[in-house]
Amino acid sequence: MSDRSFENKKHEQLEQFRTDDSNKKLTTNQGLKMSEDELSLTAGERGPTLMEDFHFREKITHFDHERIPERVVHARGSAAHGVFEVYESMKEYTKAGFLQKPGQKTPVFTRFSTVVGERGSSDIVRDVRGFATKFFTEEGNYDLVSNNMPVFFIQDGIKFPDIVHSIKPEPHNGIPQATGAHDTFWDFVANNQETAHQVLWLMSDRAIPRSYRMMQGFSINTFRFVNEQGKARFVRFHWVPKLGVHSFVWDEAQKISGNDPDYNRRDLWEAIEDGDFPEFELGVQIIEERDEFAFDFDILDATKLWPEEDIPLKIIGKLTLNRNVDNFFAETEQVAFHPGHVVPGIDFTNDPLLQGRLFSYTDTQLIRLGGPNFHELPINKPICPFHNNQRDGYYRQTINKGKVSYHNNSIAANTPKPATEKEGGYAHYQEKVDGRKVRSRSATFNDHFSQVKLVWNSMSETEKQHIIDAFSFELGRVKSMMIRQQVVDMYAKVDLGLAAAFARNIGAQVPTAGGLNLTKSSPALSQANTIKTAATRLVGVILDNGFDDADVKEILHGLNAQGMKYHIVSEQQGKVSGRNGGDMMVDHTFSTTDSVNYDAIYIVGGTAESSKFHKKTTQFLNDAFNHYKPIGATHDGVKWLEELNMKDSPGVVVNGDSKAFVEQFTQAVAAHRHWDRQVN
């Protein structure tokens, strides 16, 4: 058979497996027509998801098993070991053992990740970030599985395959990777308007964090705290970075993706290696059960946040990441998280997204890690003993002795036997459930836009402009004008100014009516109000032969004393010599690094700059200036700022006194960005 005949034969074989789903009725894989595909089967409108929902289980199971071996989502990850320390006893609220004593410490393992991209994609993409922490407690493993944004795209777990399918590379050509800037994602957004809140966050600066060390974590779902007396309260969890919440600007993020796609992974690793251990405080928002319906949103709705001004954040402990992994695959890749891994004192609610996650996570691990024994992998293994009658399966490591593997039994005196609550046995919170079996959602979930307006009102003018720019870029990549217009019309329901601004940029019809007349804001949501510190910031120091070594070394010592780090950047590797005979080792040349890799630039220069040095230095300064970063100059470096008309701009520090320069430059670096600067 000729090559062409073989290709034709292969084409014919493949054709029989192609599907055309136009004008077809939705069915299960068994051919059963389904009347509903957006709502799980629940016990009442606000009740738990029922196990008999075969359609949900089939849909989620198929989705969870679609890709091997990397995670379907959160494939691109970085992780570290650490410790969690309690600030104050939470005994009043929960009987969870690891939260009882001030100063009590629990070993943890935390994994950060992007969501959409494959394992080899860039760290620096516009995306949600995962923030998952496994607590190895004496009562068993507890997994707090969070994201860096306070809400999620959908309200019901049954729609999770749909949102992920829409944002993944389009199936006909596998393009684009690790981005939502394409037709299928925005088509889903426009036709599933519960996504409006999450998408606004996705367009915000939170989607391009400067570092895993500088981003928040949110449980998103609503859980319960249950104390020794059996009293329950609703709770959500927050991680708050001690370094504040900071982000890249978009042009900078794109350049870093090409220059160093491992930037956030490297940043986390090097910070720990250098002893700059990332720290996050754990906060909880608690609502009494009697106040379940006291707010203008449903507290079980994962597309809604809990404003801190209405439900205060109580800080209860601190996470410190202090040890890098020894083997990336064995630990970072094989760690298995699950929101259903809880300890006594932490329970679930009828949040329909959470209910779906409770099934999906275990199901995912079964296919990804080869079977039911993933808990025996060293990174997942509890530190406390575990005993049950489960046996065999792929990759079983435990060698069980004896003939008994069932309950109840008399041969082994009925061991292992259940523990009573007093003995630490887990008992589910007894909640009354009363309702008809329905595929329905409570009407309290129907408001998709009020909190989007709240977030928009809470943003600074700079953040608002970044959101408009992000919508303009993302939708500008969408080929269908129909989809563009649908999204414009959708956000016109939120804020007319927002929708009109990006509509003009993408060639859509500018809306003339719409918007919500809501003025409430939440200052806690804006990065303008975050912690500002120069600690652990990296400064690029541009030197050439003939620099004033005595003065420069004093300044660099001063920057170190303020917690900053620096890299010496010059034209060639090796040493750069000062005018007084002092040498400094070059960390990078202009060929091995770039301005975008630094939080600030300090330009000194020297007396022997080549034309290449001059050109590259100018490029460094222009990028830093246009990315609103702090710039400092002393000695021969001042001439560049004068030549480029930067000297008198905000965030640009020039001072001939070394101590004064260090003080002023530290303040400029702590500010992170200088948005009042006029850039080209």
CATH of the domain at 573: 3.40.50.880
Low-confidence residues of the chain: pLDDT under 50: 1-3, 6-7, 9-10, 13-14, 17, 68
411 domain-assigned: no
> How many structural domains are present in the chain?
3
What does the angle CA 550 – CA 553 – CA 559 come to, to the nearest 5 degrees? 145
Q: CA-CA distance, 224 to 344, in Å (whole number)?
A: 11
Buried residues in 8-35 as b, exposed as e (16+ CB within 10 A): eeeeeeeeeeeeeeeeeeeeeeeeeeee
Q: Is 4 helix (H, G, I), strand (E, B) or coil?
A: helix
Query: Which amino acids are annotated catalytic?
Result: 74, 147
CATH number of the structural domain spanning residue 74: 2.40.180.10
Contact (CB, 8 A) for 286 and 623:
no
Task: Provide the token pair at 386.
Answer: 């575990």
Residue where one domain finishes, among candidates 317, 351, 376: 376
Helix (H) or strand (E) holding 271: helix 263-273
* Domain boundary residue, one of 528, 556, 591: 528
The answer as to whether 572 is a domain residue is yes
The reply to whether 161 and 279 lie within a common domain is yes
State the amino acid at position 597 in one-letter form.
N
The b/e string for 425-456 (b: 16+ C-beta within 10 A; e otherwise) is eeeeeeeeeeeeebbbbbebbebbbebbbbbb
612 to 19, 570, 640: CA distances (angstroms)? 58, 10, 14
CA dist 274 and 266 (Å) reads 12
Residues 617 and 514 in one domain: no
- CA distances to 70, 221, 566 from 162, rounded to whole Å, are 19, 19, 45
- Strand ranges (E), 557-668: 565-570, 575-577, 583-585, 588-589, 600-605, 631-633, 652-654
If asked whether residues 508 and 608 sit together in one domain, one would say no
Asked if 166 and 257 sit in the same domain, the reply is yes
CA–CA separation, 619 and 630 (whole Å): 15
For residue 477, what is the domain's CATH number?
A: 1.20.1370.20
Q: Residue 677: helix, strand or coil by DSSP? A: coil
In a domain, 430, yes or no: no
Same-domain status, 504 and 608: no
Q: Are residues 517 and 540 in the same domain?
A: no
Distance (Å, whole) CA 618 – CA 615: 5
Q: Give the pLDDT confidence score for residue 28 in this predicted structure.
A: 67
Residue 6 lies in a domain: no
Q: Are residues 546 and 504 in the same domain?
A: no
Count CB atoms within 10 A of the CB of residue 484: 23
Query: Domain residues for 485?
Result: 450-528
- ∠268-273-279 over CA atoms, to 5°? 55
Same domain, 502 and 606: no
Place of tokens 């500010």: 671
pTM of the model: 0.91
Is there a single domain that holds both residue 549 and residue 483?
A: no
Does one domain contain both 498 and 568? Answer: no
Amino acid in position 347: D
Residue 384: inside a domain:
no
31 phi, psi to nearest 5 deg: 90, 5
How far is it, in rounded angstroms, from Cα 72 to Cα 533?
A: 36
Q: Classify residue 382: in a domain, yes or no.
A: no
Residue 383 within a domain: no
Distances (CA, A) of 532 to 244, 281, 669: 6, 16, 9
Asked if the structure places residue 498 within a domain, the reply is: yes
Final residue in a domain of this structure, among 353, 376, 399: 376
Residue 496 to residue 122: CA distance in whole angstroms: 34
Query: Does residue 554 sit in the same domain as residue 500?
Result: no
Same domain, 456 and 322: no
- pLDDT for the residue 16: 55
